[in-house]
Amino acid sequence: MPLYLMPLIPFLGFLILITFGGRVFKGSSGGWIGSLAVLGAFVVAISNYMGLERPIHEQYFAWLPYLDNGKDLKVGFYLDQVSSIMTLVITGIGFLIHVFSIGYMQDDPRYTRFFAFLNFFVALMLILVLGDSYPLMFVGWEGVGTASFLLIGFWYNKRDYANAARKAFIMNRIGDLGFMLGMFLLYKNFGTLVIPDLAEKVEGITAIMPALELVGLFLLLGAAGKSGQLPLTTWLPDAMAGPTPVSALIHAATMVTAGVYLIARSYFLYEKAPMAHEWVAWVGALTALYGALSAINQYDIKKILAYSTVSQIGYMILAVGVGAYWAGMFHLVTHAFFKALLFLTAGSVIHGCHHEQDVRQMGGLAKKMPITHAVGLIGWLSIAGIPIFSGFFSKDAILTSAYEHNIWMYAIGLFVALLTAFYMTRWYVLVFRGQYRGHAHPHESGPIMTFPLIALAALSTLGGFIGLPHIFGTNQLSHYLEAALPIEESHISASLEWTLIAVAVATSVLGIFIAFMLYRQRRIERIGGIENASVQALYLNTLYDNLFSAPSRALAKGLDAMDRGVEGGLEATAKVSTEPGGWLTHLQNGYVRAYASLMLVGTAALLLYLAIRVLGGMQ
């Protein structure tokens, strides 16, 4: 099937829903139309995946025809093994999130508009991953930024939610600047921005080009903005303000992984820019640590998962930074499974607890919501890195690659694995174990919401088997991706790999054990020591507020005072000028007798004047 059908079908869904809206589509019909549109895109993605033997490159029309001398830029889509994986994740996970939303959003007055925005988001995300050139990728890049602004601020009548949408929009623009500067430098040096052509030219370079190092750093800035990496990470946890399905779509399957995709898609640049490549790895490692430390003592059921996303995306960036591109893509896929599952589980809990989001007001939900508990259990074990769940395999692949590249990065990754197991166990026990501490009447969600949960739980359980370590068997994923990405063979012995696996599993078990011990001692709700630092996300927001927001507010207040002073002066001048006129308006009262009296007085005054003149002349 033609590639353009993939973004076209959900885009048509968006046009239909936004044009006719709830006036035409009553009940849940709008939700089903939106879901079927994404399902149609998924069918196209599956058909192309099944028949993909070599990259498919379709060019449709000239975008900038005035760029002659072979520098014309055509609009086209490019599907290789990397983008094929992305299309499956976006449309497959996106479809399940759409179905979940049919039940979750059923009471919202802007129900149909919500699905229109979801379709719009999916269409632009597909343009991002299918674009054959950086400019077309940038169109999708900006488009998902706009769509995420609409979705995060969907409940815009709440001020905090609207501010969260603005924050996400502004911080993403900083990253976009880096993306654009990278494109400008590439075009100046190579005369093309079509990715396959660019890869061919760059791979022919034998010496290190300083410009490529700069390009790599600019693209890293773009990836940091879109994927919530340091230092542009603070917008991502605040994006929890959107409806929970939006959190699942943005934080699990789509937008936040765009930065990982950008770096993996640009591997040929980073292979020629070792310094920039090393920066990628360190940014990923430090962000993974930052996200894990920030998640330890959060109380909002979604914010714990949001900081977890920051940390897990850091793992992916670390992987592509150390050259293990396939491991980064592997964790991208498994993370889409278990993080979408965890977010939708949180959505089911919030729905069942009448919109309560504080984990201190939950507990004991295992009995009241058995299906939600069962799938949440699978999601927890998967992200904690427990065999045989999917998160174990992908996290182990990243840690092994980090061990081969830099022992300090490996140590950070291992410590993050310990923290992840700890805070996700805290999340699980506070929500599902013990006695219910809230005041609502929790109830299980309906089939329309539990079906996607069960499907994602199955994927979270079995999805990791596509990337088995070589000591376990054939790694199907790395074999599939080797046609599009460089796959480096592991140089460690089988015994060492067994040791690394054992250490990783033991670390996860230790994290779970510590969390359960604190739970038994009733100390799990508030973790002493770094409690405040964790709640405040290591004060990064405070730092930015002091460095940028406070001076900006002071400057704005100064300019406002000056503006008010100038305006007040002009108003006073105008008032003084118009005051005499105001007095005379009293004479314009509309009474004929008054006008006649004035005429009489005026005539008398004139006659008196003339009389005085005449009498004066006679003397």
User: Using CB atoms within 10 A of its CB, is residue 561 exposed (0-12), middle (13-18) or buried (19+)?
Assistant: exposed
For the chain, the domain total comes to 2
Q: Is 569 found in the same domain as 582?
A: yes
Q: How many angstroms separate the CA atoms of 161 and 169, rounded?
A: 13
Q: What is the pLDDT of residue 425?
A: 95
Judgement on whether residues 613 and 581 belong to the same structural domain of the protein: no
Residue 607 lies in a domain: yes
Asked whether residue 564 falls in the same domain as residue 601, the answer is no
Same-domain check for residues 540 and 556: yes
For 213-224, how does the pLDDT look when each residue is reduced to its tens digit (9 = 90+)? Answer: 999 999 999 999
pLDDT of residue 274: 92
pLDDT for 529 equals: 67
Give dist(CA 63, CA 186) in Å, integer: 18
Kind plus residue range of the DSSP H or E element containing 412 = helix 407-432
**Domain assignment of residue 394, yes or no:** no
Which of 329, 573, 600 shows the shortest CA–CA distance to 467?
Answer: 329
The reply to whether 172 falls in a domain is: no
Q: Judge whether 606 lies within some domain.
A: yes
| Residue 543 forms part of a structural domain | yes
The predicted pLDDT at position 583 comes to 76
Q: Are residues 597 and 576 in the same domain?
A: no
**Spatial separation of the C-alpha atoms in residues 232 and 253, rounded to whole Å:** 20
* pLDDT tens sequence across 194-213: 999 899 999 888 776 788 99
Q: Note whether 393 and 330 are within 8 A (CB).
A: yes
Residue 18: which of 123, 95, 103 has the closest Cα? 123
Tokens of 424: 């996700």
| Residues 605 and 577 both lie in one domain | no
For residues 581 and 611, membership in a common domain is answered with: no
Tell me, yes or no, whether 555 and 600 share the same domain: no
> What residues does 131 pair with on adjacent strands?
77
3-state secondary structure 57-89: EEEEEEEECCCCCCCCEEEEEEECHHHHHHHHH
Range of the domain at 560: 529-588
For the chain, the residue count is: 619
Q: Is residue 562 part of a domain?
A: yes
Q: Are residues 550 and 584 in the same domain?
A: yes
- What residue ranges of the chain have pLDDT lower than 50? none
One-letter identity of residue 532? N
In this predicted structure, what is the pLDDT of residue 595?
83
Residue 604 lies in a domain: yes
In terms of Cα–Cα distance, which of 389, 231, 259 is closest to 321? 259
Q: For 40-52, b where at least 16 C-beta lie within 10 A, e where not — what string?
A: bbbebbbebeeeb
In sequence order, the β-bridge partners of residue 74 are 62
What's the pLDDT tens digit per position in 273-315?
A: 999 999 999 999 999 999 999 999 899 999 999 999 999 999 9
DSSP string, 113-159: HHHHHHHHHHHHHHHHHHBSBHHHHHHHHHHHHHHHHHHHTTTTTSH
Same domain, 611 and 577: no
pLDDT at 82: 95
Residue 281 lies in a domain: no
**Contact between 323 and 568 (Cβ < 8 Å):** no
Say which residues have a Cβ less than 8 Å from residue 619's Cβ, sequence separation at least 6: none
What pLDDT is stored for residue 216 in this prediction? 94
Choose among 17, 55, 54, 51: nearest CA to 34.
17
pLDDT of 69 reads: 62
Residue pair 280/270 in contact by the 8 Å Cβ criterion: yes
pLDDT at 169: 86
